A and B are shown apart, each in its own frame.
Chain A
Amino acid sequence: MSETHADDKPAPRPQRGGGPFGGMSLPAEKSLNFTASGKRLLGKLSPERLWLFIVLVLAVISVSFAVLGPRLLGEGTNLIFSGVVSKSLPSGSSQAEVIAGLRAAGNTAQADMLSGMTLTPGFGIDFAMLSSVLFWALALYVLSSVFSWMQAYVLNGVVQRTVYRLREEIEAKINRLPLSYFDKKPRGELLSRVTNDVDNISQSLQQSLSQVVTSLLTVIGVIVMMLLLSPLLALIALVTVPLTLVITAFIAKRSQKLFVAQWTNTGELNGQIEETFTGHALVKVFGRQKEVDARFTAKNNELYEASFGAQFISGMIMPAMTFIGNLVYVAIAVVGGLRVASGAMQLGDVQAFIQYSRQFTQPLAQLGSMANLLQSGVASAERVFDLLDAAEQSEDPDHADAPAEVRGRLVFENVSFRYTEDKPLIEQLSLVAEPGQTIAIVGPTGAGKTTLVNLMMRFYEIHSGRILLDGVDVATMTRHDLRSRMGMVLQDTWLFGGTIRDNIAYGRPDATEQDILAAATATYVDRFVHSLPDGYDTVLDDQGSNVSAGEMQLLTIARAFLAQPSVLILDEATSSVDTRTEVLVQKAMSALRAERTSFVIAHRLSTIRDADLILVMESGRIVEQGSHVELLAANGAYQALYAAQFAAPIADEV
C-alpha cells in the first residue's frame, strides 16, 4: 500500500455494532503473548536499573526493620509477663529456688515455663529495660517508615520516567509509520492507546511494583524467620508457595483474556466516540443519533461484560490467598501441637511461629491483588507494543544524496504506482517540470491528480520508475531533505491549536516577526487578522471554528509562502476562498511562483490559464499536455473540460 506495506490490503474493520470482529472474539494468540508482553514491560524499566537497585536496597532495609519489629515487641511483652510472674513470687528467693520449689510440688509444667524466663522474684516489671526495648522498637519502626518512604519516592520517579519514555516512544513511532497505517486505524483507537492504556500501565506499575517488592520481601523475611525457628514447620508453610502459584495461574489464565478484551473494547469505544464527536453535526442532521447511540450502547455493553468478568475473576485471587493463609495456619497449629505434645518443641516457639504464619497471609493476599492489577497493565502494554511493532516506512538511505544546486527541476520517468496490488492507478507516467514553470494538472476527479502530489512528496513509494529532483533520484534522498525543498498547500486545511502567528511560522520556526507579517500581507491574511480582537495572537481552537474555512485556507497559503520552498504544490489551495480574495492571492502567488517550480491542481480556469504547461490527466495517465491555447486548439480532452464549464450552465438556462 505504501512504503513497506506495498502488498498490504486494508484490514477489515468492525462496522456497526462490532460485527464478527467484536472485542470478545479476539484471536487466541493474543493471550499467548501475555508473558512476553509482561517481560517486555519490565524490560522498559531497564534504563532505571540503578534506581531499581536502590529501590530494592531501600525496600530490603525497610522490610527487615519491619520484620524485626514484632520480635522486639514480643520481647517487651515477655518483660511485662516476667514482671507479673516475678511479682507473684516471694521476694528474697532466687529464680532457681522458686523453680526447684515448683518441681518439688510436682508442678513441672509451670517450672518448665519459668525456667525459660529471667525472673527477679518479688520485683515487678523492669521499666528501665522495657523502655529501652520499646525505644529500639520505636526507632526500628521510624527507620522502617523512613526507608519505605524513600523507596516509594524513588520508585515513583522510576515509574513516571518509564511512562514518559513510553509515550515518547509512541510519539516517535507515529512519526515513522507510513501514511497508509493511518488510513486504516480510527484516530480515537490510537488516541486511546496513548491516554487510556498508558495511564493504566502507569497506575498498575505505580501501585503494584512497590507492593510487589515489599510483599515479596516480607514473605521472604518471614520464611527466613520461620526456617530459623523450625525447618519442619517452615516446610509446611513453603508448600503453599507452589499452591499459590497454581491458583494464581489458574485464575490469571481466565482473567487475562478478559483484561485484553476490556482494553480492546475501551480502544474501540474511544474510536467510536472520537468519530461521533468529530462528525457531530452530521450525526444530528442525518438523524443518526439513535443508531449511533445503539452502536455505542452495544460496544459499551461489550466493554461492561469484559471488564466485569475481568474484575470478578481476578477479584477471586485475594480471597483464595486468604484461604491458603488460613490453611497454613491450621496445619501449623496441628503439627506444632503434636510436636509440643511429644516434647520436640517449645510452646513459645510454636506461638512465635504461628504469629509469623499470620504475617505470611497478608502479603500473600496482597500479591494476589497485585497480580490482578499487573494483568490489567500488561493487557494495556500489549496494545501499546502492538502499535510500537507496526511496520515502519522504509529507512532513509544511509548515504543520502542531495542535489548540489536546488533549482526545482522535477522529472517523472515511467512512474507507476498502485495503492492496492491488483489495481494499477498510475501507469508509466513521465513528465518534466522545468525550474520556474507553473504546471497545472487538470482532469476529472479520481484521475490521480492528488496521488501524483502524494508521490512527489514521497508520502507513498512508487512501484516502478524514478522521480528526479534536480537530477537526483528522490528515493536516494532523505525524506526530510526532499520535503524541506517542497512546499504544499492542501485541499484539507489543517491548523494546529495555537496562535495565528505560530501557525503561519509553522514551516519556518526561525522566521522573524517581519517575515511573518510580510507573508501574511502577501496572502491577504493580514486583512482579516486585523478584524480579530486578538490579531495575530488569536488562538485557533482545534475545530478552527473561530475562523472561516476560506480564512483557514489563506492561513495555510501564508504558511507555505513563509516556508520558501523550491517546489510548490497547490492542491485545490483556494477552493474555499472567495474569488475576489483569490484574485488578490493569485497575484501574490504568481510572485511566489516566479522563482520556483509549481504544481497547481485547480478547477478554476483563471488559475489554469496562466500556467506554462497544462497536464490533462485521465485514469492515471497524462492524455494531453500543452498550453491553454494549444490544448483548446487540439480539440481534445481539455477542450471538452473547458466546454463543460461554460457551455453546460448556458444550456440549462435555455
Chain B
Amino acid sequence: MLRSLLVRYLRPYWQPLLGVFVFQLAQSIASLFLPTLNADIIDEGVATGDTGYILRVGALMLLITLAQILCAIVAVYFGAKVAMKVGRDLRGDVFSRVGEFSEQEVTRFGAPSLITRSTNDVQQVQMLVLTTCTLLVSAPILSIGGVIMAIRQDVQLSWLIAVSVPILLIAVGFIVVKMVPLFRKMQTRIDTVNRVLREQLTGIRVVRAFVREDVEIARFATANQDVTDVALSSGRLMALMFPIVMLVLNVSSVAVIWFGAFRIEDGSMQVGTLIAFLSYLMQILMAVMMATFMAVMIPRAAVSADRIGDVLATESSVVPPAEPVNATVGQGELELLDVGFAYPGAEQPVLQNVSFIARHGQTTAIIGSTGSGKTTLINLLPRLFDATSGSVLVDGFNVRELNPDLLWGQIGLVPQKPYLFSGTVRSNLLYGKPDATEEELWQALTTAQARDFVTEMDGGLDAMISQGGTNVSGGQRQRLAIARALVKRPALYIFDDSFSALDLATDARLRLALKQSATGATMIVVAQRVSSIIDADQILVLEDGRIVGRGTHEQLLDTNTTYQEIVSSQLTAEETA
C-alpha cells in the first residue's frame, strides 16, 4: 500500500523530484570526490611542506564543499516542497473522501479514527517522504559510487563488501519486519487514546455530574499505558538498530585490515590501497546506515499508508449517480414506494414495506415509539443512507438518480441532535444559504421563535457559538437549527423530533409561524408529542419499522389502537375531547 500510495502521490511532482535527484547526485559526487583531495593535501602538501599546494587544493576543496552544500540546500528545498505537498494532498484527499461517505462509512471507521488518519497518519507518510528526499536519495548514489571506487582499488578484497552489506541488510530487515505489526498496533492505540479523550470532552458534564473523573482518568490511563507499551517494545527494537549497524561497520573495517594484511604480505596490494579501500568501505556502510535510519520510519509509515489507503479505497455506500438527473424539482413532493432498510448483517430490517406520499403544501407527521425506525426513515430522504429495497422519489424522481446537490438544495433538515458549528449565530444561519440577506436571517429567526433571545445575545447575529452549540440551551439550539433550515427556504422540510426541547408555548407559536411562512412546502415532522402533530394533514404511525396506521388525528383516534395508546399516554381524556 505504501508503495502504490507514494507512486500515486509523488507522480505529479516528478519535476521537483527530479530536482532532488539531480542535486543529491551532484552533492554525492562532490562528497565522493573529497576523500581524493584529502589524500592529496596530505601526500603532496603536508608531507612535503608545500604551503602553496595546500592553499590551492584547500581552496579547491572549499569550492567543492561550497558547491556541495549549495546543491544540498537546493535538494532540501525541493525535498521539503515535495514532502509537504504530498502531505497536503493526502490530507485533502482523505478529507474529501470522507466528505463523500454516507453515515454508514463514517460510523464504520468512527470519527476519531478518521481524524487520526487525516492528520497523524498523513504526518508519518510525509515525514518518510521528507527524509527520503533529504537523506535516502543520496544513499544509493554514495554506496554505488563507493562500490565502484572500492573495486577499482582492489577486486580481490571486494568479497568483503559482498559479505558485510548483505549481513547489514538482513539484520536491519529483520528488525524492520518485526516492527511492522508493532506500529500497526501503535496507530490503533493512538486511535483509542483519541476516542477516549474525545468521549470525555463530549461528555464532560456527565463525567463531572457522576463524579467519575477518577474512572475516566483510569480509563485514559489504560489507553495511555497501552500506547506506551507498544511504543516501548518498538523503541526497544529500534534501540538495536544503531548498535548493530555500527558493529557490522566496525567489524568490517577490522576484517579489511586483517585480510588486507595477507594480500600486502604476499605483495599483491599496496598499503595506500588498503587505506583507500577502508575509507570507501566506510563510505558504503555509512550510506547503508543512512538508509537504515530511514528504515526505522518505513514500518510506521507503511502502517499509516495502509490506514490512509483504507479510507481512500472505501467507496461510499451512497453513490452519486453516474448520469445525474438535473431536473429542477421545486415542489418537494415525496413518495416512498415499498421502502425497506436493513443494516448489513443485521437479522431484522429496520424498515419494511414503507409506502406513502407526502404532498406539497401539506404536513406529514410520523409518530411511533422509540426505536420504531423514524430517524432511519428520515435519513433515507436526503440519502444519508440508501434504502436497501424500494425507492424514494422526490417530485417523481428517484433520489438515487438525482444530482445530489439539487436534491440537498431542496431539503431543509433539522436533525434530532441540533448540532451547531463553532462560529457565530450568523455563520450558522448562513450555512444553507451563504448569500441570505440580513432581513432573511431575522425573518427565519422570527419564525423559529429565536428572534428575542438572539437579540439579547452579546453581539446579536454575531454572538459566538461554541462547537456543537454548547453555550446555548437545548431549546435555543433547536430553534437555531430550525432557523438554519428556514433560511434555506427548501421545498421539503424534515423536522426530526425538532420541538422536543421547546417549551409548550414556544412550540405552539413556532408551529403556527411555520405554517404561515413555509406555505407550499412539503413538511415531514417526526414528533413524540401528539400536540405537535395534531393538525397534520396526514399522520403515519410507525411500529417496528412498518406503517401500522395512517390518517388524520381524528381518523386515527377512531380507528388505530396504537395511536390511541400514544394519545392516551400523554393527554387526559378531557384534553383529548
| Contact partner, A334, options B58, B106, B488, Cβ 8 Å | B58
Q: Tell me the nearest residue of chain A to B272, going by C-beta.
A: A81
B344–chain A nearest beta-carbon distance, Å: 13
Q: Is the interface of B mostly helix, strand, loop or mixed?
A: helix
In the bound complex, residues from chain A placing their C-beta under 8 Å from that of B119 are 192, 195-196, 266, 269-270, 273
Separation of A513 and B468 alpha carbons in the complex (Å):
35
CA distance A484 to B415 in the complex (A): 33
Q: A156-B239, A160-B228 are in contact. Are A583 and B569 (CB under 8 A)?
A: yes
Partner of B217, one of A141, A146, A172, A606: A172
Assembly CA distance A444 to B473 (angstroms): 11
Please state if A134 and B257 are interface contacts (CB–CB under 8 Å): yes
- Per the bound structure, the CA–CA distance linking A314 and B502 in Å amounts to 57
Residue contact B265 to A579, C-beta cutoff 8 Å:
no
What's the least CB distance linking B416 to chain A, in Å? Answer: 5
Contact partners of A286 in chain B: CB under 8 A: 408, 413, 431-432, 484, 488
Q: A497-B195, A533-B347 are in contact. Are A311 and B83 (CB under 8 A)?
A: yes
Contact present for B265 and A83 (CB under 8 Å): yes
Q: Residues 478-499 of chain A: 1 if any B CB is under 8 Å from the residue's CB, otherwise 0?
A: 0110011011101110111100
Is A195 in contact with B384, judged by CB distance below 8 angstroms? no
- Cβ of A52 under 8 Å from chain B: no
Contact at B529–A171, with CB atoms within 8 Å?
no
Q: Which of B68, B415, B473 contacts A450 (CB 8 A)?
A: B473
Q: Are B213 and A337 in contact (CB under 8 A)?
A: no
- State how many angstroms separate the Cβ of B502 from the closest Cβ of chain A: 6
A420, A641, A642 pick with most chain B CB within 10 angstroms: A641
In order of increasing CB-CB distance, the 9 nearest A-B pairs are A550-B370, A341-B49, A445-B475, A152-B239, A648-B508, A156-B235, A645-B504, A644-B505, A494-B203
Q: Is A279 an interface residue (CB 8 A)?
A: yes
Q: Does any Cβ of B come within 8 Å of A244's Cβ?
A: no
A24 near B: Cβ within 8 Å?
Answer: no
* 9 A-B pairs whose Cβ atoms sit less than 8 Å apart in the complex: A76-B254, A195-B194, A281-B413, A307-B126, A315-B79, A340-B47, A490-B209, A550-B370, A572-B500
Q: Is A428 part of the contact surface with B, judged by Cβ < 8 Å?
A: no
**Partner pick for B99 among A186, A293, A307, A494, CB 8 A cutoff:** A293
Residue on B with the closest CB to A155?
Answer: B239
Task: Tell me whether B58 and A330 are in contact (CB under 8 A).
Answer: yes
User: Which of B46, B76, B476, B488 is within 8 Å of A350, CB to CB?
Assistant: B46
List 17 extra interface pairs beyond A145-B247, A191-B197, CB under 8 A: A15-B423, A156-B236, A160-B235, A196-B119, A266-B123, A270-B119, A280-B111, A284-B384, A300-B91, A312-B80, A318-B72, A330-B41, A333-B45, A337-B54, A445-B503, A483-B210, A494-B203
User: Within the complex, which residue of B208, B243, B372, B535 is in contact with A149, where a contact is CB–CB below 8 Å?
Assistant: B243
Partner among A182, A188, A303 whose Cβ is within 8 Å of the Cβ of B115: A188
B570 and A579 contact, CB distance less than 8 A: yes
Contacting pair B217 A542 (CB below 8 A): no
Whether B190 sits at the interface, judged by CB under 8 Å, is: yes
Looking at the assembled complex, report how far the CB atom of B224 sits from the nearest CB atom of chain A, in whole angstroms: 5
Are A446 and B408 neighbours in the complex by a CB distance under 8 Å? no
Which of B7-15, B59-67, B142-150, B155-163 is the interface stretch?
Answer: B59-67
Q: Are B257 and A73 in contact (CB under 8 A)?
A: yes
> What is the chain A residue whose CB lies nearest that of B114?
A277
Query: Once the chains bind, are B66 and A80 in contact (CB under 8 Å)?
Result: no
- Establish whether residues B497 and A549, one from each chain, have CB atoms under 8 Å apart when the complex forms: yes
In the bound complex, do residue B87 and residue A329 qualify as a contact, i.e. CB atoms below 8 Å apart? Answer: no
- Number of B residues with CB within 8 Å of any CB on chain A: 182
A229 at the interface (CB under 8 A from B): no
Stretch at the interface among A123-131, A220-228, A429-437: A123-131
The contact string, 1 if C-beta is below 8 Å from chain A, for chain B 181-204, is 000000000100111011111111
Query: A194 to B415, alpha carbons, bound, how many Å?
Result: 31
A residues 349-375 touching B (CB-CB < 8 Å): 350-351, 354, 358
Contact B107 A297 (CB under 8 A): no
Q: Indicate with 1 or 0, residue by residue over A495-508, a CB within 8 angstroms of chain B CB atoms.
A: 11100000000110
For residue B166, CB closer than 8 A to chain A, the reply is no
Counting CB contacts under 8 A, is A395 at the interface? no
In-complex Cβ contact of B111 among A278, A312, A559, A645 (8 A): A278
Question: Which residues of A in the span 582-622 have a Cβ within 8 Å of any Cβ on B?
Answer: 582-583, 603-606
Question: In the complex, what residue of chain A is closest to B418 when comparing beta carbons?
Answer: A282
In the complex, the answer to whether B507 meets A645 with C-beta atoms within 8 Å is yes
Q: Which residues of A (155-176) have their CB < 8 Å from a CB of B?
A: 155-157, 159-161, 163-164, 167-168, 171-172, 174-175
B253 at the interface (CB under 8 A from A): yes
A35–B309 CA distance with the chains assembled, in angstroms = 39
Q: Which residues of B have CB within 8 Å of A292?
A: 99
Known: A168-B224, A337-B51, A572-B500. A450 touches B474 (CB 8 A): yes
Q: Do B423 and A577 touch across chains, with their CB atoms under 8 A apart?
A: no
Contact B535 A174 (CB under 8 A): no
Closest to B431 in A: A286
Q: Contacts A77-B271, A160-B232, A319-B73 given: A16-B423 contact, CB under 8 Å?
A: yes
Q: Is B50 an interface residue (CB 8 A)?
A: yes
How far, in whole Å, are A280 and B221 apart by their CA atoms in the complex? 30
Chain B 480-501, CB within 8 Å of chain A: the 1/0 string? 0000100010000000010011
C-beta contact mask, A271-289 vs B, less than 8 Å → 1, else 0? Answer: 0011111111111111111
Tell me if B509 is interfacial: C-beta within 8 Å of chain A: yes
A148: CB under 8 A from chain B? Answer: yes
CB pair A496 B203 closer than 8 Å? yes
Structural contact, A187 and B202, CB atoms closer than 8 A: yes
Query: How near does chain A come to B330, taking the closest CB pair, in angstroms?
Result: 16
Q: Does B397 contact A (CB under 8 A)?
A: no
**In the complex, what residue of chain B is closest to A649 when comparing beta carbons?**
B534
| Cβ B468 vs Cβ A278 within 8 A | yes
Question: In the bound complex, do residue A280 and residue B51 qualify as a contact, i.e. CB atoms below 8 Å apart?
Answer: no
With most chain A CB atoms within 10 A of its CB, the pick from B84, B209, B264 is: B209
Q: Residue of A at shortest CB range from B201?
A: A187
Contact A164 B225 (CB under 8 A): yes
Say yes or no: A492 contacts B261, CB within 8 Å.
no
Confirm or deny: B565 has a beta carbon within 8 angstroms of a beta carbon on chain A.
yes
Contact across chains for A304 and B87 when beta carbons are under 8 A apart: yes
- Asked whether A580 and B369 contact (CB < 8 A) given A351-B46, A548-B375, the answer is yes
Q: Are A652 and B535 in contact (CB under 8 A)?
A: yes
Residues of B within 8 A of A121 (CB): none
Q: Which of B404-422 contact A (CB under 8 A)?
A: 404-405, 408-409, 411, 413, 415-417, 419, 421-422
Q: Is the CB of B535 within 8 A of A653?
A: yes
Q: Is B118 an interface residue (CB 8 A)?
A: yes
Out of A337, A483, A642, which one reaches B208, CB within 8 Å? A483
Residue A581, interface by CB 8 Å: yes
- Residue pair B474, A649 in contact (C-beta under 8 Å): no
Q: Does B471 contact A (CB under 8 A)?
A: yes
Q: Are A280 and B427 in contact (CB under 8 A)?
A: no
Distance A651 CA – B202 CA, assembled complex (angstroms): 42
- Asked if A543 contacts B46 (CB within 8 A), the reply is no
Residue of A nearest to B228 (CB): A164
**Chain B contacts of A450 at CB under 8 A?**
473-474
0/1 string, B345-382, CB within 8 A of A gives 1: 00110000000000000000001111110110001001
Do the beta carbons of B569 and A542 come within 8 Å of each other? no
Which of A40-48, A320-328, A406-414, A461-469 is near enough to bind chain B? Answer: A320-328
Q: Determine if B120 and A199 form an interchain contact, defined as CB atoms under 8 angstroms apart.
A: yes
Nearest Cβ in chain A — how far from B564, in angstroms?
10
Contact A581 B369 (CB under 8 A): yes
Q: In the bound complex, what is the Cα–Cα distance between A155 and B193 (angstroms)?
A: 24
CB distance from B477 to the nearest CB of A (A): 9
Q: B275 contacts which chain A residues (CB < 8 A)? A: 77
Interface centre among A168, A266, A315, A342 (most CB of B within 10 A): A315
CA distance A146 to B42 in the complex (A): 35
Q: Quick one: which of B79, B206, B531 has the most chain A CB within 10 A?
A: B206
A336 contacts chain B at the CB level, 8 A cutoff: yes
One of A179, A270, A322 near B65 (C-beta < 8 A): A322
Give Cα distance in the complex from A188 to B115, angstroms: 8
Contact check, B531 vs A141: say whether CB atoms are below 8 A apart: no
Cα A553 to Cα B528 with chains together (Å): 14
